[in-house]
Amino acid sequence: MKDLLEDIDRWRAAGLRIAVARVVDIEGSGPRDPGAAMVVNEHGEVAGSVSGGCVEGAVVSEALAILAGEEASRVVSFGYSDDEAFAVGLTCGGTIRLFIEPLDW
């Protein structure tokens, strides 16, 4: 999140609502370590990344649903090896879990 402070500042100055997604856990081979983060504003603009580009699109949809109040802050999993995984997976075969929440704290 450290690399995203400028984007967050800019969006906050513009009065935009922001969701933050952070990698909290990886199983097997994962491209980014816990703490890797991306932020999404209410217009769907993105900064940062949480994988090698495999799951970012799905994260944006989740983040927008959370900002719209359709979903609560929660952990989402991506990967082929997890029963609850989304249809999108990681090409490396691992599983990553992300926590997505509004940046309202």
| Residue 25 found at the interface with other proteins (CB under 8 A) | yes
Residues 65-84 that bind other proteins (CB under 8 A): 72-75
| Residue 2 found at the interface with other proteins (CB under 8 A) | yes
* Residue 41: strand, helix, or coil: strand
Class of residue 23 by CB neighbours under 10 A (exposed 0-12, middle 13-18, buried 19+): buried
Cα–Cα distance, 47 to 41 (Å, whole number): 9
Q: How far is the CB of 1 from other proteins (least distance, A)?
A: 7
What is the binding site for other proteins (CB under 8 A)? 1-2, 5, 8, 22, 24-25, 33-35, 72-75, 99, 101, 103-105
